[in-house]
Amino acid sequence: MSATDAAGVTAAPAPPASAGAGRRKARRRAGRAGQYLALLCYVVFLAFPLLWLVSTAFKSPQELGSVHPTWLPKHPTLDNFRTAFDEQPLLHAALNSLMVAGISAVVSVAIAVPAAYVMVRFRSLVSRAGTGWILVSQMFPLVLIIIPLFMVLKNLHLVDSRLGLGLVYVVWTLPFALWMLQGYVKAVPVSLEEAAAIDGCSRARTLRSVVLPLLTPGLVATLMFSFVTAWNEFFFGLVLLKSPEKQTMSVILTHFLGAEGAADLGPLAAASVLATLPSLLFFALLQRRLVGGMMTGAVKG
């Protein structure tokens, strides 16, 4: 709309500059629509396996054997959930998983925060070597460590122990947690800590009142990463826990699988849907804390 229109004066040809602005606006809108479309496609792509899993969980065996699968079950049934609960101790396994994933998340963050801070703020040969070791440690395949690890745990009487498994997950997730947190610590300007020191804060107080609150998004991200990694992990859980009553969710899920890809598909999908719920809830509860931009404008220049 041109300025002359707004003034209620006889319509005059719109100035070329204004027409250009309109076109730009339209282009911007089209661009934004395109971005949303791309985002939608990406979300659908990411959500596809989950949606398919949910759909499968509510299908009868006959529908699962159909050559023309449908998105929505034609005759939705809860039988798969009933069978899954009847055949396997799902709740108990979920509690076991919660316990080991909880230990893993809390302990690895508790170790990673001070370690990451020291490695970023006190650049020494040790911290540089530590950073290098983090990278190197990621290169060891599971196959190399599983048997020696089993023996170490056996000597510590931590085989067939949920605490032992939790500690293994701490060790397993710690390198990446450290790596992640280092990035967050680097983003906290040193000038903020210096300002706090000038105001008379001790180092401990600076860490508690200045650095930690600014690290919240990093803490949450690391917590989520450690929790989900431990929750989903299968092989350590399979090998290290012998007692059926201690088995974790990911191990229990394989009990619906037979030889050569045969599977009790309906109950497996039902149990898998239930197994994804805690991770989803955990994300839903914590994602608001994952906000960025907390430090925007904290330091001038």
Partner 1 sequence: MRRRTFLTGAAATAAVAGSGSLLSACGSSAGSGVPRLDFLSLAWQTESVKANKALVAQWNQRHPEVQVRYVQGSWDDVHDQLLTSFEGGAAPDIIHDEGIDLTDFGFGGYLADLTDLLPAGLKSRIPQATWDTARFNGGVYGVPFLQEPRVLIANRTLLVKAGVRLPDDTHPWTWQEFEDICRELSHHGGGSAERYGTAWPMSSPVSVTLNLSLTTGGRILYKDEGSGHTEVRFGTADSAFAEMVRRQVRTDRSAPSSALALGGGDVLPGFFAGRYAMLPLDFSYRQQIQQQAPKNFDWVTLPLPVGTHAPDGGRAQGVSPQTLSVAKSCKHQQAAVEFIDFMTQTPHLVQLAQGDWMPPTGTAALRDPSLTTTKLGWSTGMALASHLTASPALGSRGYPEWSDKIATPALQQYYSGAIGLDSLRGKLVRDGNRVFERYRE
Taking CB under 8 A as the binding criterion, the range among 49-57, 72-80, 170-178, 237-245 that sits at the site for partner 1 is 237-245
Q: Cβ of residue 61: shortest distance to partner 1, in angstroms?
A: 5
Residue 116 or 233 with smaller CB distance to partner 1: 233
Q: Per rule CB under 8 A, is residue 239 in the interface with partner 1?
A: yes
87/90 Cα distance (integer angstroms): 9
Window 66-125: residues binding partner 1 (CB under 8 A) = 66-68, 83, 87
Q: Cβ of residue 192: shortest distance to partner 1, in angstroms?
A: 47
Query: x/- site string to partner 1, residues 43 to 62, per CB under 8 A?
Result: ------------------xx
Q: Per rule CB under 8 A, is residue 142 in the interface with partner 1?
A: yes
Q: Per rule CB under 8 A, is residue 233 in the interface with partner 1?
A: no
102/254 Cα distance (integer angstroms): 22
Phi–psi pair at 257, nearest 5 degrees: -105, 140
Phi–psi pair at 297, nearest 5 degrees: 80, 5
Task: Indicate which single residue of 85, 150, 179, 225 sits in contact with partner 1 (rule: CB under 8 A).
Answer: 150
Q: Per rule CB under 8 A, is residue 138 in the interface with partner 1?
A: no
Q: Cβ of residue 75: shortest distance to partner 1, in angstroms?
A: 12
Structural tokens at position 125: 């040969």
The CA distances from residue 139 to 135, 178, 181, in Å, are: 7, 16, 20
| b/e per residue 225-263 (b: at least 16 CB within 10 A) | bbbbbbbbbeebbebbbeeeebbbbbbbbebbeeeeeee
Query: Within 10 A of 208 (CB to CB), how many other CB atoms are there?
Result: 12
Q: Per rule CB under 8 A, is residue 235 in the interface with partner 1?
A: yes
Window 213-232: residues binding partner 1 (CB under 8 A) = none
C-alpha of 11 from chain center: 58
Residue numbers at the binding site for partner 1 (CB under 8 A): 61-62, 64-68, 83, 87, 141-144, 146-148, 150-151, 154, 159-160, 235, 238-239, 242-244, 254-264
